[in-house]
């Protein structure tokens, strides 16, 4: 089955640590996205990528980094510079063709600072 996989489902981070969230898709989608979800704030875009080896900042990129070395993979690193990283993180992908209109989402990673 085609889909998008996020791992781990739950992640705990100590103060000062960097952690990396995995996102893999086998949908052959060109574009991939990372969102942060906090209660009452909806979805906020962190980074997105439309092509391998290229990515753009979203609305809240500070304290985060990404890479896109393969079409299938778009990992997100939450760095120690992110002062309030506790949130639910969602990865999504989409095609960029004329008939590709919406996103497919992963099941999310819940990150907690301990």
Positions touching other proteins (CB under 8 A) are 6, 31, 33, 40-43, 45, 48, 50, 56, 88, 90, 92, 94, 96, 100-108, 110
Min dist CB 109 to other proteins, Å, is 10
Closest to other proteins by CB, 18 or 56: 56
d(CA 80, CA 16): 5
Q: Which residues contact 96 (CB under 8 A, 6 or more apart)?
A: 30, 31, 50
Min dist CB 87 to other proteins, Å, is 13
Min dist CB 81 to other proteins, Å, is 25
């Amino acid at each position: 089955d085609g889909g998008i996989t996020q791992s781990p489902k739950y992640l705990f981070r100590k103060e000062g640590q960097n952690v990396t969230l995995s996102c893999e898709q086998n949908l052959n989608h060109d574009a991939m996205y990372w969102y942060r979800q906090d209660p009452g704030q909806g979805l906020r875009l962190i980074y997105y990528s439309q092509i391998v080896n290229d990515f753009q900042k979203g609305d809240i990129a500070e304290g985060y980094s990404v890479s896109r070395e393969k079409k299938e993979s778009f990992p997100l690193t939450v760095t120690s510079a992110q002062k309030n990283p506790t949130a639910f993180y969602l990865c999504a992908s989409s095609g960029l063709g004329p008939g590709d209109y919406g996103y497919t989402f992963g099941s999310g990673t819940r990150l907690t600072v301990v």
